[in-house]
Amino acid sequence: MKITRNKRTGEEVRITSWKSHSDPSIGNFSLSFGTSSVPEGFVWNGTRPFWRTGPWNGQVFTGIPQMNSSYLNGYNVGDDGNETSYITFSYANESYLAMFVLNWQGKFGGRNWNAEKKEWEGGWNAQTSECDVYGTCGAFGICSSESSPICSCMQGFEPRNKEEWNEKNWASGCVRRTALQCETGKSQNGTGNSKGDGFLRQQMVKVPDFAEWSWVRAEDECRSQCLRNCNCFAYSYDAGIGCMSWSGNLVDTQQFTREGIDLYIRLANSDLPINGIVIVVILCLMRFFNFNFSLGIGL
């Protein structure tokens, strides 16, 4: 399997689906590269994104949790030096056969050849839930197949249209509750302390689409770079990718129960959690009660 895209000319090699289960003519769905600065694959429904792999980190596509399984080893993403990016797949053991399928409904997966039975067997499917459909929860929404309902607004955000949201129509997404300090002209000293904006850590996610890549040496530098730019709404740092930031709507964010990347979402200080204060209060109360009980003092 090989798909390619030339960044300068836009020329590409892509996989296309059948028109229907029984009609092998060219269908509506195709698999190709995205256009952002971070390599990732997309399934398109015509010209609209339908599903994406998440960014490539040098070993796996980070938006496919099951990709760490051994049967998916063999992917390679690179650049030929002439502005053409490519995704290839090949097993080290050439006697092992695998087939990749993009079916007429836009679902991408793999099949393995059983030499004893002499037939193709079901291997894996990239899309396993409604959350895998691109942009299910709209802007600043996050999708979790383990939750009911599957869509929720990111912390610090609320539904743009609450009536639609209650009817499980999430397309309009979410909006920020509190304007960022940097937008209102209040003090923003670049440290994320109580006088400025800060970041909320969202663990194990498929990071949003439209990542902007920059190579920095450490996560702290990535954070500072985002905080200095009022148009930066989130950042993420992965050792295999580098620094990613987002300056527009956070679209197609998915919550995983394993794997994924940590996303840091920019919020006004008043919308940041105060867990540290709560913990201090609880500890003080515990010590107070223990001290009084040790003295035999009742309340």
Residue 171 backbone dihedrals phi, psi, to 5 degrees: -60, -35
Residue with the bigger pLDDT between 24 and 81: it is 24
> What confidence tier does 35 reach under pLDDT thresholds 50, 70, 90?
confident
pLDDT exceeds 60 at position 75? yes
Model-level pTM? 0.83
Distance in angstroms (rounded) separating the CA atoms of residues 259 and 206 = 9
Note the maximum CA span of the chain: 85
Q: For the chain, list the domains and their CATH numbers.
A: 2-128 (no CATH), 180-275 (3.50.4.10)
Contact between 123 and 235 under an 8 Å Cβ cutoff? The reply is: no
In sign, the C-alpha dihedral spanning 10, 13, 19, 24 is: positive
First vs last C-alpha separation in the chain:
73
Contact between 181 and 192 under an 8 Å Cβ cutoff? The reply is: no
> What confidence tier does 7 reach under pLDDT thresholds 50, 70, 90?
confident
Q: Phi/psi class of residue 9: alpha, beta or left (left: φ > 0; alpha: ψ in -120 to 50)? A: alpha
pLDDT tens per residue, range 54-71: 999 988 899 998 876 555
